[in-house]
Amino acid sequence: MESRWSTFRSFASNHVVWYNFHVAGNACFFIETVFFEEASLLARTTSSHNGKINIAIDGPAGAGKSTIARMVANMLSYVYVDTGAMYRAATWYLKNRGIEPEEVNEVLHTVQNLGIELIPGEDGQQVHVNGQDVTAEIRSLTVSSQVSRYAQIEGLRTWLVSLQRQMALRKGVVMDGRDIGTTVLPDAEVKIYMTATVEERARRRFNEMQEQQGITLEMIARDIAERDRLDQEREVSPLRQAEDAILLDTTHLTPQEVANRIVSLSRTYWEREQE
């Protein structure tokens, strides 16, 4: 079976972090993590007692998870991992090849040739698939309406979850998605479940997608409601609030207010652990 390298990159403040994985068939092996800029960062991140923790942020579509997770990571100088972008990238790749989610065997065969890069930059995170920048494409309504269908495929989730867990081994990670606190990082020190009304989530997503012609607020609201249903009803890792997660309704909060609360909770947790 053909094997390939999949590389995931992210920033921890001004520190570049490379995540290297060797993917062969349905197996994924963690190879190495290399830190640049400051060699001392490695020593500070190899221990679970380094002053850093993992933060899991879950919630439905349009709750603001990615925006908030990125802000929290910047405020704490942590690494941000956008798991939703990984699922979107896989969805875009499969749809472009005419492979439907019902074709499970073909899906699992095709993703063996899938390489994803998460590349932070001044204008936000870029997502590359096999070297191609697909940052805009994976945010289209077409991908948004299909990603939950592909995300129900157990083999695809297993592959991506294994990558996500390896990313969090050294602590200092803020990861957002739909099953981070329940499945991917069940031992995360701080777990947040973000939500907002469907109307507010649709409004936010509409503001993000206004450049796409023919998109209406009503279309997005219907899409979000359907994604909620699919995410909550899927058999594998359904969307739900972890028992030990803190619920944050962001409907009437600014992004900065939400980020400040999560940072405060995280710092309080670490201070309590030191007592």
Known binding residues for ATP = 59-67
CA distance 205 to 218: 11
What is the residue type of 260? N
Dihedral, CA atoms, 144, 181, 170, 164, nearest 10 degrees? -30
Binding annotation: 59-67
CA distance 103 to 101: 5
CA distance 192 to 56: 6
**Cβ-contact 57, 174 below 8 angstroms:** yes
Surface-to-core class of residue 59, CB atoms within 10 Å of its CB (0-12 exposed, 13-18 middle, 19+ buried): buried
CA distance 119 to 232: 30
